[in-house]
Amino acid sequence: MAAAVAIVLCLGLGCAGLVVYYTQLGDDGGSSEAGGEGTGSTPEPGSRTASAQCAGSITPAHDQTRAVGLPDFEAAPQTGTATMRLSTNLGEIAISMDRARTPCTVASFQHLAERKFFDGSSCHRLVTEGIFVLQCGDPTGTGMGGPDYKFADENLTGAQYGRGVVAMANTGQPGTNGSQFFIIFRDSSSGLQPLYTPFGTVTTGLDVVDRVAAGGHDNSITAGGGAPKVGITIQSLSVA
């Protein structure tokens, strides 16, 4: 029996961001992991309506939920690409998103951007041990906030999480995507399990993330990582 480290990027009540836990490898070489399992498959683009594919639903409200209502998943385009632009206090970050592979995720970000959901929010977590990510998207800056809805996972089959990939954080359970996302700034030998919807790739501004990563974090989160010492705030976010 050998110990291995599994890492979950999560959010919401009872799961404040990144959780590191240990699992035991069985004799067959497999592992049993705490937390949620991914769907393991994604419908082919156009195989069913985006609304059914997205499985969006309103979630119970709490103090750190911001009510914005469900996106119009039914009208979500399923072809082409979109660009998400983060104007930050340190410079612009541009992310290319594939509507064919992640129509629900793109539709959600467009919905939130139109409501200025992210404006003035800080990226609340930096992790520089085991995995290398900057986590953003919580308007409260606590790791506990998000919109008043959730939607399904996408693009998990064969998911790869290398430098420059942008993916959704979740609660550790399937279909719990909201607004929080993470940017990977360095390849990790430990790797991430295919549980987090990879929806985009940074095309410009990865040097901004590198600058934040180089400054380190304050170790304020017992589960791993902490607030970046070089603060980064999303002044505005747009999708086009």
* pLDDT in the model for residue 36: 30
**Could you tell me the residue ranges of all domains in the chain?**
3-30+54-239
179-209 pLDDT tens trace: 999 999 999 866 789 999 999 999 999 999 9
| E-strand stretches of the chain | 3-9, 18-24, 57-58, 65-66, 81-88, 91-98, 121-122, 125-127, 133-136, 146-147, 149-150, 165-168, 181-184, 198-204, 233-239
The per-residue pLDDT of the chain, averaged, comes to 83
Q: Is the pTM of this model over 0.85?
A: no
* pLDDT in the model for residue 189: 62
Q: What one-character DSSP code corresponds to residue 43?
A: P
CATH superfamily, domain 3-30+54-239, is Cyclophilin-like (2.40.100.10)
CA atoms within 13 A on the CB side of 109: 29
Q: Which two tokens mark 216?
A: 């380190």
For residues 118 and 65, what is the distance between their CA atoms, to the nearest angstrom?
A: 13
68-122 pLDDT tens trace: 999 999 999 999 999 999 999 999 999 999 999 999 999 999 999 999 999 999 9
Residue written as tokens 């998911």?
Answer: 159
Q: For residue 12, name the pLDDT band (cuts at 50, 70, 90).
A: very low
Q: Is the separation of the CB atoms in 192 and 156 below 8 Å?
A: no
